Structure 1
Amino acid sequence: MTQVVLGENEGIESALRRFKRQVSQAGILQDVRTKRHFETPLQKHKRKAVARRKQNRRMRQHFK
């Protein structure tokens, strides 16, 4: 769970920026997007396969 404690002289804008940064680093929004709709096992397998291919492509380019 992400939480932000306001400092004594800290403005709402800076606290909101820190909160948004923490949420994006924790991957909360990405998790919500993936769990928004029911995903069949076949769709889940395909999505993970695409992610693996994408990751492998990045790794191959990195080590050339």
Structure 2
Amino acid sequence: MPGILLDDSDNFEIALRRFKKQVEKAGVLSELKKRQHYEKPSVQEKKKKAAAKKRLIKKMRKSRNDG
């Protein structure tokens, strides 16, 4: 669980920015969005395959442009 320790001299805006960065790094918000609605296992599998295909196409496009 992300958390930060504050001193009396710490600025609130800076502390909030540090906390937001830790939350993002831990993936809390993305996990929350994933769990907001139930997805059937078949839908999850379709999304995984589509993401893998998209990554492959992007990788192939990038390697073709570099060469």
Larger Rg, first or second structure (1 or 2): 2
Report the counterpart of residue 39 of structure 1 in structure 2.
Answer: 39
Q: Number of paired residues? A: 64
Return the alpha-carbon distance in structure 1 between the equivalents of residues 59 and 17 of structure 2: 32
Q: Quick one: percent identity of the two aligned structures?
A: 33
Report the counterpart of residue 53 of structure 1 in structure 2.
Answer: 53
Amino acid at match of 1:56: L
TM superposition shift of 1:61: 4.4
| TM-score of the two chains, using structure 1 as the length reference | 0.80
Report the 3-state secondary structure (helix = DSSP H, G, I; strand = E; otherwise coil) of the residue aligned with 2:29: helix
Amino acid at match of 1:13: E
- Could you tell which deviates more after superposition, 22-31 or 53-62? 53-62
Structure 1: gaps of 5 or more residues: none
Structure 2: gaps of 5 or more residues: none
Does 1 or 2 have the higher relative contact order (CA < 8 Å, sep 6+)? 2
Return the alpha-carbon distance in structure 2 between the equivalents of residues 15 and 23 of structure 1: 12
TM superposition shift of 1:62: 4.8
Q: Which has the larger helix fraction?
A: 2
Return the alpha-carbon distance in structure 1 between the equivalents of residues 62 and 4 of structure 2: 36
> Alignment RMSD, CA only?
1.6
